[in-house]
Amino acid sequence: MPARHVSRVRGLYKRILQLHRALPPDLKALGDQYVKDEFRRHKAVGSGEAQRFLQEWEAYAVVLQQQVKESRQSSTGEACFGTSLPEEKLNDFRDEQIGQLQELMQEATKPNRQFNITESTTPKL
């Protein structure tokens, strides 16, 4: 793999993780894990698939950067992250990708359950 390609992949990976810092904590954790898994999963793909992978993640970074900028400029403090997938793009997905997308959507729309604090019924000694 050419050094230029490796440098491009690492730079994009770091840029996305930096952009995720602006997300709410639950979305940041979900996004970071997803990015790490996807980049790891695509480490050894062919050059055609690698090129498409990078193009899609670069487009994601551009959209996210714009959304981060808009959320910082918002006078209401309301942040809106994400975008709809056009149907033609969904038609290009394999069944496995549709399943991953479904799981991601379910995880992203769960109520915030980051902490579950329960009171202990046994006395501490």
The predicted-structure confidence for 48-58, as pLDDT tens digits, reads as follows 899 999 999 99
Residue 115 reports pLDDT greater than 60: no
CA distance linking residue 10 with residue 13, whole number of Å: 5
pLDDT of residue 122: 47
At 34, list the tokens.
């997803």
Residue 39 reports pLDDT greater than 90: yes
Region 87-110 average pLDDT: 84
Residue 70 φ then ψ, to 5°: -65, -40
- List the domain boundaries for the chain: 3-108
Region 102-119 average pLDDT: 66
19 within 8 A of 64, measured Cβ to Cβ: yes
Output the pTM of the full model.
0.74
If you ran DSSP here, which 8-state letter would residue 122 be given? S
Question: Dmax over Cα atoms in the chain, in whole Å?
Answer: 63
